[in-house]
Structure 1
Amino acid sequence: MKNHTMISFVFIGVFFPQHLLADCVTELTESNPRSRYTDNLDGTVTDDKTGLVWMRCSTGQTWNEAEQVCQGEAAAATWLEAHKHADGHIFAGNDDWHLPNFKELISIMEIACFRPAINLEIFPNTPEQEFSAYWTSTPGDIDSVYAVTFDSVGPQYHRSKNSKLFSRLVRKQ
């Protein structure tokens, strides 16, 4: 399964250059369809496949339940600032939010979509500018951490802990 996913990433990158694509490629099977998530009606969704509960908005945005959108701009922060924000953050009656690890964060990537490579019905108003990266809690080396970009279905890479990146918090059910 892991190799199949990687082949899909390579296939999309080679045969569907980003500048020629609309938001999603309808010929591809969605990796994260709406049906995979349960709306908790509090600005969070539960991924029924992984059991993880995700904030629908990026850090810095506010959930508008009536309009089903994230309002405002996502706030970029250093890795330490993002960790401090997550520690003890209270949202939807819970205080056990954390920065996702690499595996958790890539689980919400949508391989059929680009800029951003995420299901916008579930995670609306996700920043889509080129190289928009999100922090993970997975260390790279002494001065870096893995980050995930949602401008396409790749790249995932190490970033300096002093870089200013976005974050989306998660918790276990």
Structure 2
Amino acid sequence: MLANRLKITIGWLAVASGVSLFSGAAWSSCAAGTPDPTLVVTTPTADFELHDDGTATHIPTGLMWKRCAEGQSWNAVSERCDGEADSFTWQQALQHADASPGFAGHNDWRVPNIRALMSIVERCASNTGSTPSINAEVFPDTGTGRFWSASPSHHDPMRALAGSGFSENYNKTDEYRLRLVRTAD
């Protein structure tokens, strides 16, 4: 119990002092005009290794993400995502990931669990009322809407977790977007 309190206290002291426990770098403040001046950038571009093949490795978590949502395609010339993102029910999202052909030389793409999905949420964006709640430099042309996670609800077998800045339980038959992830080599 005391160890948990100590970890929480250290975490809050790190936030207050501007030191990141995750990347070892000083946190930078959100852009001007953010309603809460105490907010810090949670997914700075420096925390990602951007690859020419349409992927980005999140250095703090060791996860490699597709920079485009499913249904969009990576345009290496413009470094943007072309097309519209597809929507899936939860079951369709899981099946799509299992059946997806390889991308960027890898064939082990999966639907992220809720912890992984929330690791790329940009809190500065989610607290300004703008959507999407993501680093638009790393994940361009994301658009608005929720993204599925592979995490089922612990309270209701007919629901699963999805996120658009925060996670909530949603009906598995609802249709949301999908961004795939894999463990980086």
Per the TM superposition, whether the score is higher than 0.5 is yes
Letter in 2 for 1:52: L
- Preserved contact between residue 99 and residue 137 of structure 1 (Cα < 8 Å): yes
Q: What are structure 2's unaligned runs of at least 5 residues? A: 1-6, 13-30
**1:97 correspondence with 2:109:** yes
* Change in 2 beyond 3 A, CA 1:107/1:23: farther
Letter in 1 for 2:67: R
Question: Deviation per CA, 1:78-118, whole angstroms, max 9, x where unpaired?
Answer: 11111111114211111100000000000000011131110
**1:163 correspondence with 2:178:** no
Q: How far 1:39 moved relative to its partner? A: 1.1
Q: How far 1:55 moved relative to its partner? A: 0.2
Give the RMSD, CA atoms, in angstroms.
2.3
Letter in 2 for 1:103: R
TM-score by length of 2: 0.75
Q: Secondary structure at the match of 1:112?
A: helix
Task: Tell me, in whole angstroms, the C-alpha distance in 2 between the residues paired with 1:23 and 1:52.
Answer: 30
TM-score by length of 1: 0.80
* Change in 2 beyond 3 A, CA 1:53/1:30: same
- Preserved contact between residue 32 and residue 110 of structure 1 (Cα < 8 Å): yes
Task: Tell me, in whole angstroms, the C-alpha distance in 2 between the residues paired with 1:23 and 1:97.
Answer: 37
- Percent of residue pairs bearing the same amino acid type: 36
- Which residue of structure 2 aligns with residue 123 of structure 1? 139
Letter in 2 for 1:165: Y
Task: Name which one, 1 or 2, has greater alpha-carbon Rg.
Answer: 2
Q: How far 1:71 moved relative to its partner? A: 0.8
Task: Tell me, in whole angstroms, the C-alpha distance in 2 between the residues paired with 1:29 and 1:160.
Answer: 32
* Change in 2 beyond 3 A, CA 1:139/1:72: same
- Preserved contact between residue 45 and residue 56 of structure 1 (Cα < 8 Å): yes
- Aligned pairs, number: 150
Greater relative contact order, per chain length (Cα 8 Å cut-off, separation 6+): 1
- Which residue of structure 1 aligns with residue 34 of structure 2? 25
Task: Tell me, in whole angstroms, the C-alpha distance in 2 between the residues paired with 1:86 and 1:169.
Answer: 7
**1:133 correspondence with 2:146:** yes
Task: Tell me, in whole angstroms, the C-alpha distance in 1 between the residues paired with 2:68 and 2:34.
Answer: 24
- Pick from 63, 66, 75 the counterpart of residue 86 of structure 2: 75
Question: Deviation per CA, 1:107-159, whole angstroms, max 9, x where unpaired?
Answer: 0000111311100000001122xxx111001110211100101xxx33x2111
**1:145 correspondence with 2:160:** yes
**1:39 correspondence with 2:50:** yes
- Which residue of structure 2 aligns with residue 52 of structure 1? 63
